Amino acid sequence: MNKYIIPILLFAFAILFSYCNPSKKATSSKEKIVKKSTYQADMTALIMNNCTPCHIPPNGRKKPFDNYTNVKTDIDEIIRRIELNPTDKGFMPFKNKTKLSDSTISAFKKWRDDGLLEK
């Protein structure tokens, strides 16, 4: 029996050390650092580019989305509408023939999921 003790212990230590390997932990925590989206940094340009002129005063006469409060309040409705198909009633951007790009739609969702931060 004794002759198995050493190999078994070595095996147990090998497993233990492979789980405690500090270099593994360091890389995986680095990968998780993703910047949170904010209205000012991530939303203003997208809205200015895609929802103009209709939602941008003074030329746009639809609900203004040039301010944080309105965009924050309406975010669920905004996401619902930009995810519709262009032929659906209520689709935004109004009368566009194509949907916004997947990455643009994801940017709206990420901002919502990150907690609707202003800056």
- Binding residues (CB under 6 A) for ligand HEC: these are 50-51, 54-55, 62-63, 74, 77-78, 81-82, 90, 92-95, 100
For residues 25 and 27, what is the distance between their CA atoms, to the nearest angstrom? 6
Least distance to ligand HEC from the beta carbon of 62, Å? Answer: 4
CB of 60 to ligand HEC, least distance (A): 7
Q: How far apart are CA 71 and CA 93, in angstroms?
A: 15
CB closer to ligand HEC, 25 vs 40:
40
Nearer to ligand HEC (CB atom), residue 12 or residue 84: 84
**Residue matched to tokens 């030329």:** 59
Distance between CA atoms of 67 and 65, rounded to whole angstroms? 5
Handedness of CA 29, 105, 116, 80 (dihedral sign): negative
CB 94 to ligand HEC: min, Å: 3
Q: Pick the closest to residue 107 from 77, 75, 68 (CA basis).
A: 75
Which residue in this structure is represented by tokens 């907690």? 115
Compute the least distance from the CB of residue 70 to ligand HEC, in Å. Answer: 9
Nearer to ligand HEC, 100 or 111 (CB): 100
Of the pair 7, 90, the CB lying nearest ligand HEC is at 90
